[in-house]
Structure 1
Amino acid sequence: MGDGNGSGKGRPATYADLEDVPPTKVGEIIEGELVVSPRPASRHTRAASRLGAWLDGPFDRGQDGPGGWLILDAPELRFLPSGDALVPDVTAWRRERMPQLPDVPSFSLAPDWVCEVLSPSTYRWDRGPKMRVYAREGVEWLWFIDPLAEGLEIHHLREGQWQLSAAHLGSGTVHAAPFDAVPLSLGKLWSR
């Protein structure tokens, strides 16, 4: 996400280290390193919010779409035994794996789909270490949205390796797996 600060104690970061992260920042533990980043900028937040809004009706609530998903913005994922604690921008679980939302502060069940909205401060973490963690945990689909370049990349996990499934630029309408049942107008993600 941002510049890795490490635990500052010559050891892998722990969940206790996250408690010292100020509320004006986002703290994650990625491959043993405490990573503290600024809160997302406006275009980043707008793209994530618009994407979540688009997914909610047809995929979470089943309005004018197939339903079958539980969609969440910026949940904390905690994976054991690795100790990774990630905060993706938007996530989704298939309802057969998570029938209803549990009342928990963080999730240990890996999502089926993750979207990371890229920014200069998160780019190297999202496209490197976080990608590896998502593959290790078995996340099936990973999207990268770049609101500055106005682009969407779709990656699919096959046999433990990410494969680029599709890349889209601009403001056209696309059918983006695994949510290809309902067309996505990319221009809505970039609108100000």
Structure 2
Amino acid sequence: MNIAEKLNQTFTYADYSQWPDEERWELIDGEAYAMSAPQRLHQDIVFELGRQIGNYLQGKPCKGYVAPFDVRLPRKNETNDNINTVVQPDLSVICDPSKLDKLGCLGAPDWIVEVLSPSTALKDMNTKRSLYQLHGVQEYWIIHPEDQWIMVYKLDDQGRYAMPDVFGMN
């Protein structure tokens, strides 16, 4: 199946798990999104942040992961094969070990970080923000590498992201 065919239909995790490992995709509500290789600055930030988070998590119950790492976000009572949302955040932190299995994470991580790329910025800032809120990701960071800012969303008592805090880098 070529890329155009993949983009014109909906998919589940059963489909996704059969795709070649050398291709990187995300599924959001069954829609396939091709992922391209990130730029060097993006990778510099992911590597450094991953190192710092990893150091911080030593001796703590939470585990951190960098992409590619599948995060499956099921709807209520959805079987693994029928899940139609699978994302690969740049960084994920999971504090509930029951969510981790050999395939990655099943359910919402506690903390997700996305470093913006030109090709995915709108998806990360809108679609994924709404998706992560819906599934209960406690904290969601969006990092803009070129403009050097971090936007931090935290779930409030009603399960919604409050106005984000914005911080400069440097």
- TM (normalized to structure 2)? 0.81
Alpha-carbon contact 1:5-1:35 (below 8 Å) kept: no
**Cα distance, 1:19 vs. partner?**
3.5
**Cα distance, 1:130 vs. partner?**
1.3
1:77 counterpart residue number = 71
- For residues 115 and 166 of structure 2, the distance between their equivalents in structure 1, rounded to whole angstroms, comes to 14
The reply to whether residue 61 of structure 1 matches residue 58 of structure 2 is: yes
Aligned CA RMSD, in angstroms, stands at: 2.3
Q: Of Structure 1 and Structure 2, which has the larger fraction of its residues in helix?
A: 2
1:87 counterpart residue number = 88
Alpha-carbon contact 2:7-2:33 (below 8 Å) kept: no
1:40 counterpart residue number = 38
- For residues 132 and 53 of structure 1, the distance between their equivalents in structure 2, rounded to whole angstroms, comes to 27
Letter in 2 for 1:167: V
1:113 counterpart residue number = 111
- For residues 28 and 4 of structure 2, the distance between their equivalents in structure 1, rounded to whole angstroms, comes to 11
Quick one: percent identity of the two aligned structures?
A: 23
Task: Give secondary structure in 1 for the equivalent of 2:104.
Answer: coil
Letter in 2 for 1:80: P
Q: Of Structure 1 and Structure 2, which has the larger fraction of its residues in strand?
A: 1
**Cα distance, 1:7 vs. partner?**
3.4
Alpha-carbon contact 2:30-2:84 (below 8 Å) kept: yes
Task: Give secondary structure in 1 for the equivalent of 2:42.
Answer: helix
- For residues 4 and 128 of structure 2, the distance between their equivalents in structure 1, rounded to whole angstroms, comes to 16
User: 1:104-156: per-residue Cα shift (whole Å, max 9, x none)?
Assistant: 12211311000000110110111111112111111000001111111111101
The reply to whether residue 163 of structure 1 matches residue 150 of structure 2 is: no
Structure 1: tracts of 5 or more residues without a match:
172-192
- TM (normalized to structure 1)? 0.73
**Cα distance, 1:53 vs. partner?**
0.3
